[in-house]
Amino acid sequence: MKAITIFLAALVPLFSFGNDEKLIKSKINEVTIFTIGAQVSRDVKVTLAKGENTLAFEGLSPGLDEKSIQFFVEGNVSILSLNYEIRYDEGTQARKLEAQTLSAKLKSLQEDISTQNDVLVVSKREEEVLLSNTDFDIWEGINTVELKQGLDLVRARLTDIKQRQRKAKQQIDVLNMERQKTLNRLSEMRIEDATPVGVLVVKVDAAAAVNSKGNISYVVADAGWEPYYDLRVEDISKPLKIEYKAKVYQKTGEDWEDVKITLSTGNPYESGRLPKLDPWYLNFVNPGYYQQQTRSITPQKGGVTGVFSGVVLDAKTAESIPFANVVLLDNNRRVISGVTTDVDGKFKVNANSAVSLMEVSYVGYNKYTTGLNDRNRFQTIRLSESASQLEEVVITYEAPLVQRSMESEDIQNMAVRDITAVAVQANGVSSSGKVFTNERYSDGVKQSGGTFKISQNPVNLKFDVKTPYDIPSDGEQYKVAITEYEKEADYLYKAVPKLNEHAFLTASITDWEELNLMNGSAGIYFEGTYLGETALNPKEAGDTLSISLGKDENIIVLREAVVSKEGSRILSSKKEEKFHYEIKVRNNKTAALNLEITDQFPVSGNDEIIVERVEASDGVVENKSGLITWKFRLEPKEEKKIDLKYNVRYPKGRTVNVR
């Protein structure tokens, strides 16, 4: 009988709907992560009764943008309404009810304390009046009996007043103790975590009872990714290896477990609307007009660390904006820390590293950016509504079979955890159709095989990955390997000895556009040694992308002043100073190398200052800027000397910044 019961239970639909609301759990199956924000897609299975059905899909992010919600269900089904709500679990609901009860009790206790204080005030006044009427001069001429009766009355009244005062004080003490207990409990409840959950309530009308499939998608703010790279040079005779990676984070309130990931270069928070110029009417204004128009908070030089807090409001209605995205950026506009506002629009965010800017954004509003310093640690931020709305985002996946790898690294003082399944491209197809084939090892794990597709539309680029990922909602960064390239590069050592007595290896790449690179930081590995971090700036590159790969200690570059016997001298009304520098370069490496040295002649900024360019040792001089470039090849252990000479003449008695 037990087996039959189980079998019959298995025939009962998982979800059955009538006119009553039924809660449905759905699972995230696809996520498109933008540079800021993400679009989440959930597939659902429902069993609909004929007629009206109320479907409540729980477990959604409490910080999703309501305007971005899309719902679809198959079959002859009409969608009657969509309503997004923030709900709490039973424990949180109980705490909310308890808080309401405690707040009401606190108010009642305060009223009782006020009442007892009034009793004290009245009795004190009564005591003063009574005592003011006990002057014996007033009772002069009263007989002994009447006097005794009067004194007995005063004694009785005073005793009664004192008793009432004592009882009132005792009652106030009791009420204050109870009030403190209530306040303590409220404080404890504020510390307890309140976990809001998003619920989408959908009313549909089904033409007939049917088992159907559907989909829910929406955009969340507190997620994103940024590119970073590992640049590896085994030898300057070999191609440059570029490992294209991503740092992915999310703190949306929902864990992404075993989901497909697409990385998109799009940003739903940037307006896609073409700006329009309105007529520009000139008029008279007060003297402080331009100062008012351009007033902004100046970031503190070098940045600032610590805690920043505030509240985010709607500029028009002054209502709080919950779940707005607040991020802190350093001088290079890299994200250092970030949070979302709570249900009251409040936020508190901590920066362990130096930050100089705060950006606040929310879908449907214009992004707000302000400088940070020690004087504006609390801010009231008002966001204005944006005229543009999000268009529908279509997610497609055509991704390869890939293998898993485990890596770990701390980036920008933020934790970077290993992803259980990291997608790595071995055979990649660019938007131009070019195929890259490679094989590599990471921490002893061989990674190869598969086809990784990079798709491109007119406005952004997408990296579609088939292998599922686990990304918890903890705000920490997770490493994702996107692809790996090998490119022929022209290696050149460059040095600016006036500023730094080291030579830096650079790699120049042509046809770099096919790599689909983005601006980002990069770790440098040269001959198996980590040399630090650099930056890739393809947006600023022309036909050739130049990458600085760090300094090489085996190349010595010295710039020394040569003492001249002539020195400075006076020529009539002019003073002349002679300058002579010797640049020495030595190659201590075992291989020959190409080297470029840059120095400069000073350039006169005044007609009374004359610069005479005496010697540049066959360097190429740019006349306008005074920059000098020497290019040559150095064999192993070879040393080269360069002479730089110039004279400066200017009026006697004047000072010139020539040193």
Counts of helices then strands in the chain (DSSP H, E): 4, 38
Question: If phi over 0 gives left and psi between -120 and 50 gives alpha, with beta otherwise, what is residue 306?
Answer: left
The model's pLDDT over 498-518, given as tens digits with 9 standing for 90+, comes to: 988 889 888 888 888 878 788
Looking at this protein, which amino acid is placed at residue 98? E
Q: 76-81 long-range contacts, Cβ below 8 Å, gap at least 24?
A: 76/206, 76/207, 76/208, 76/210, 77/48, 77/204, 77/205, 77/206, 77/207, 77/210, 77/212, 78/204, 78/205, 79/202, 79/203, 79/204, 80/52, 80/203, 80/204, 80/205, 81/201, 81/202, 81/203
Say how far apart CA 317 and CA 311 lie, in whole Å.
14
Q: Which of 629, 601, 599, 627 is nearest to 614 (CA)?
A: 601
| CA end-to-end span of the chain | 100
**3-state SS, residue 368:** strand
Contact indicator for 600, 587 with CB cutoff of 8 Å: no
pLDDT of residue 464: 80
Q: Is 289-383 in the same CATH topology as 14-89+198-220?
A: no
Q: Which of 523, 543, 561 is nearest to 644 (CA)?
A: 561
Cβ contacts of residue 412 below 8 Å, gap of 6+?
A: 334, 336, 353
Q: What is the DSSP letter of 443?
A: T
Q: pTM of the full predicted structure?
A: 0.53
Q: What is the radius of gyration, based on Cα positions, of the chain?
A: 38
Say how far apart CA 134 and CA 151 lie, in whole Å.
8
For the four alpha carbons of 12, 18, 20 and 22, in that order, the dihedral sign comes to positive
Residue 472 backbone phi and psi in degrees, to 5? -70, 160
β-sheet bridge partners, residue 309: 348, 378
Q: Which pair of structure tokens corresponds to residue 231?
A: 């640049």
pLDDT of residue 292: 39
Contact indicator for 319, 313 with CB cutoff of 8 Å: yes
Q: Which of 543, 227, 141 is nearest to 411 (CA)?
A: 227
Place of tokens 């707040």: 103
Q: Where are the domains of the chain?
A: 14-89+198-220, 93-191, 289-383, 490-651
pLDDT of residue 413: 34
Say how far apart CA 423 and CA 399 lie, in whole Å.
10
Say how far apart CA 256 and CA 225 lie, in whole Å.
15
Question: What's the distance, CA 390 to chain centroid?
Answer: 21
Q: Which pair of structure tokens corresponds to residue 116?
A: 């007892």
What angle do helix axes 144-191 and 90-132 make, rounded to 10 degrees? Answer: 160
pLDDT of residue 659: 67
CATH number of 14-89+198-220: 2.70.40
pLDDT of residue 421: 30
**Distances, alpha carbon 216 to alpha carbons 28, 53, 245, 274, in Å:** 9, 17, 29, 30
Given a cut of 70, the residues of the chain with pLDDT beneath it are: 1-19, 89-94, 133-143, 147, 187-195, 269-273, 275, 283-298, 300-301, 387-460, 564-568, 570-571, 659
Place of tokens 């004194």: 151
CATH number of 289-383: 2.60.40.10
pLDDT of residue 429: 29
**β-strands 77-88, 210-220 pairing:** unpaired
